[in-house]
Structure 1
């Protein structure tokens, strides 16, 4: 028997985190706890996004539904738990992931092993994580943010400024000027048109950007294909790729996919997404929302299976209540403790 519980946790970014859809300094995640009949407990995190139709309150309500769906299972019924949650609610990916991560934490704790070891993975194979430079209207603020990211060899630059393509061009020029030797990746968060993406793509290529993430709206796959076929840079889908079932239709449309646990609905589904993307010859990266180390550590356990990682959500916080995986200098380090290896600070 399993007992599920939730707690809404307010957290704050060190600076306002702004992307093309807006930004904030305060965020609310949801800690999910799963306790079995023997009193052993696993922890997971849901990082809801309104873009995907979720709020902290909807996560709490969804987890209450999941209590009825999976309460009679044990800690080892990981695949069945995700299947039942999916049958109970079609969407609600962040809520499902919170429960899934807690169940994986519980199962690995029961085994007395770190989750990565239970999975048979080698943490040394994890790629470096990028660090995100959010949109800034002020050049001095932008330069200060880049300076603060000095330890990170890979920067992910958010574009799609409300001031338009001209400001995006200014931003990427400033970033390259301040970080002449770093790997740069660009994420437009679906803010551009096909014409705009191709226009700025020439500049991005000239500045040595590695790839463009989600240049167009999620459902404009014809537009994404048009850009990918003409762009000097690879194109990676984020908002267009939610679950493993989305991957086949993206083959030939983009060059890679960005997995997020908060989108896909669980660690088992994440594994399926990775395997499906590999079978279609796509680059695989994992990203994150603004999350505490509880959520980031769950995602970081997938890192040895990835080509690229963007797992800086907790590094952007000023008040992370958990300790777990770290990305010091971009290097992803997984905990050695049982389960996810996460502790309260």
Structure 2
């Protein structure tokens, strides 16, 4: 087995802004495993919010080179690295390699439902209310995700988008920017504006202040939910969890997280960082299990891989084997 690691930079169309800042490119790490004629790839997006850096993720993967070349497999990988971006890249590379070696798709190997076209949310970056309204009109998508800022203008932003796209269902994502005190009242005000889901309104660690049973809008944990071990403390405070492969540490752990959430009666969103189709393809295998799909990363880029995933408007189609899996 041979391992190679590369860093790639993909320009974003314009800028991507959330409450914590803005960026103009997606910096990703790609791990490639080669075994004879077969090659498997996995892409991850290191995230500073979780203490990750591109350099740190590359170093973490490189430290496993001797073990991988000596025979470490996907199962052993789960204990060799903690949850996070580095393990995600390697885990997805192992799955892709297994698919190429066996001639079977990863969905079949993993016992997942066969992938089908799914509706994905389209994300509007944090901006002034009138700018987000204009972006909503231009996007013309049936499911919009709004990045919010916790700066006193969030209700105005959602109201402006709802007026510009009244038929669209809305997901609002505060990225931990609201306080526990303001969240219930703001949720009540948003209930009449087409909002179906509020994602991570409060800082991770303040979750106990939330009561999913009394909130008029479904609440989804994102920054608070990484792996299956997080679920017991989140149940009751959230109605949904956002499963992201970069947080969970790969498709293997994400499947465990999704199944664990369902066993506790929690709804699912499958989400992503801003990356290419190589990162979206494994996550898309979880879409048939989810209530909400947010895999629009390639739509936010100025260009994507070839071949990439096919999007027809808001409809995301299953990936081809030449891309992944």
- Classify the TM-score, shorter chain: over 0.9
Q: Does 1:184 align with 2:184?
A: no
Distance in 2 of aligned mates of 1:21 and 1:195? 20
Deviations 1:210-266 (A, max 9, x none): 1111010011121233xx344211111000001111112211121010011111101
Alpha-carbon offset, residue 309 of structure 1: 0.7
Q: Does 1:102 align with 2:96?
A: no
Distance in 2 of aligned mates of 1:195 and 1:299? 34
Mapping 1:217-232, distance limit 5 Å: 217-225=203-211, 228-232=212-216
Deviations 1:304-331 (A, max 9, x none): 2222110001110002234333332222
Distance in 1 of aligned mates of 2:229 and 2:308? 31
Contact 2:120 2:294 in 1 (8 A): yes
Distance in 1 of aligned mates of 2:31 and 2:168? 37
TM-score (norm 1): 0.89
Mapping 1:181-330, distance limit 5 Å: 181-225=167-211, 228-330=212-314
Structure 2 equivalent of residue 16 of structure 1: 15
Alpha-carbon offset, residue 339 of structure 1: 7.3
Structure 2 equivalent of residue 335 of structure 1: 319
Structure 1 equivalent of residue 6 of structure 2: 7
Q: How many residues align?
A: 324
Distance in 2 of aligned mates of 1:328 and 1:188? 28
Alpha-carbon offset, residue 80 of structure 1: 2.4
TM-score (norm 2): 0.94
Partner-residue secondary structure (3-state), 2:321: coil
Distance in 2 of aligned mates of 1:248 and 1:326? 37
Structure 2 equivalent of residue 66 of structure 1: 64
Unaligned stretches of 5+ residues in structure 2:
none
Partner-residue secondary structure (3-state), 2:313: helix
Contact 2:129 2:161 in 1 (8 A): no
Partner-residue secondary structure (3-state), 2:297: coil
Distance in 2 of aligned mates of 1:148 and 1:53? 35
RMSD over equivalenced CA pairs, Å: 1.8
Distance in 1 of aligned mates of 2:160 and 2:69? 53
Query: Are residues 69 and 246 of structure 1, via their aligned partners in 2, closer, same or farther at CA, if it must alter by over 3 Å?
Result: farther
Deviations 1:3-53 (A, max 9, x none): 2211110111112111111111122111111112x2421111011110011
Contact 1:115 1:338 in 2 (8 A): no
Residue 149 (structure 1) aligned to one of 119, 139, 142: 139
Structure 1 equivalent of residue 114 of structure 2: 122
Residue 122 (structure 2) aligned to one of 125, 131, 136: 131
Structure 1 equivalent of residue 78 of structure 2: 82
